[in-house]
Amino acid sequence: MMNRVLLAGLAAATLWGAPAALAQSQPVRGKQAGDLLLGFGLIGVLPEKGGRVDAIGGKPEASDTVTPQLDLTYFVTPRLSLNLIAATSRHDVKVGGSALGEVDLGRVWALPPTLTVQFHPLPQSRVSPYVGAGVNYTVFYGEGGGRTPPVSKVDVENSWGWALNAGIDYEVAPNWLINVDAKKLFLRPDVSVNGGAIGARAELDPWIIGAAIRYRF
């Protein structure tokens, strides 16, 4: 657990650090209808360990990772916004505790665009928290890498999921903000091994935690 906390903290700590004095010297513009924010940052993608594996038993597991992320936020009203994230991450996957012991399934890339509707209760504050909920569609690709015999092929199916979201914007200057954000995805793709000889469902349900610098257009 400590390693996972440190991994998530890396993404948040790397970009958080603008001097408070700079922010306090600037007027607060706040959130306004029509604002468009473009963000760039780092995220930690932290999947859970769970699910089922037919025939051999055990539980699917995917590794944690850190990766860059772009996000776009559009304010419909000062308190209501739409947020879309774009990132791709690589994970090592395996089955633990199976009848064959630990089975290496190689690696997979995930592309998880997520759209959330966010509510901002303090749109005119320099420190502006928000909560949100939305939908996710994850595309899995690039399955490959070293695998434990007799595993020769792994296919992780694309999957829909729900998302919960919370975060904070900190206005450094009228057009610049620092953002810390956390999302919980409810994501449970089906997995096929050796052309369907073994089926599985991975209960990934990852946390996505990170920090970004945002520019307001």
Whole-angstrom distance, CA of residue 212 vs CA of residue 178? 6
- The first and second tokens of residue 16, run together, are 């958080």
pLDDT 10s digits, 35-68: 999 999 999 999 998 999 888 888 899 999 999 9
As given in the structure block, the two tokens for residue 198 are 């073994």
**pLDDT tier at 22, thresholds 50, 70, 90:** low
- The predicted-structure confidence for 181-210, as pLDDT tens digits, reads as follows 999 999 999 999 998 888 999 999 999 999
Burial of 127: CB neighbours in 10 Å, binned 0-12, 13-18, 19+: exposed
* Sheet hosting strand 190-193, strand order edge to edge: 51-53, 198-202, 190-193, 154-156
Q: Is the pLDDT of residue 2 over 50?
A: no
What phi and psi, each to the nearest 5 degrees, are found at residue 76? -75, -40
pLDDT band with cut points at 50, 70 and 90 for residue 88: very high
pTM: 0.84
The whole-angstrom separation of Cα 182 and Cα 203 is 19
- As a whole number of angstroms, the distance between CA 166 and CA 49 comes to 23
Distance, CA of 79 to CA of 136 (rounded, Å): 22
CB atoms within 10 A of CB 63: 14
Each residue of 121-145: pLDDT tens digit? Answer: 999 999 999 999 999 999 999 998 8
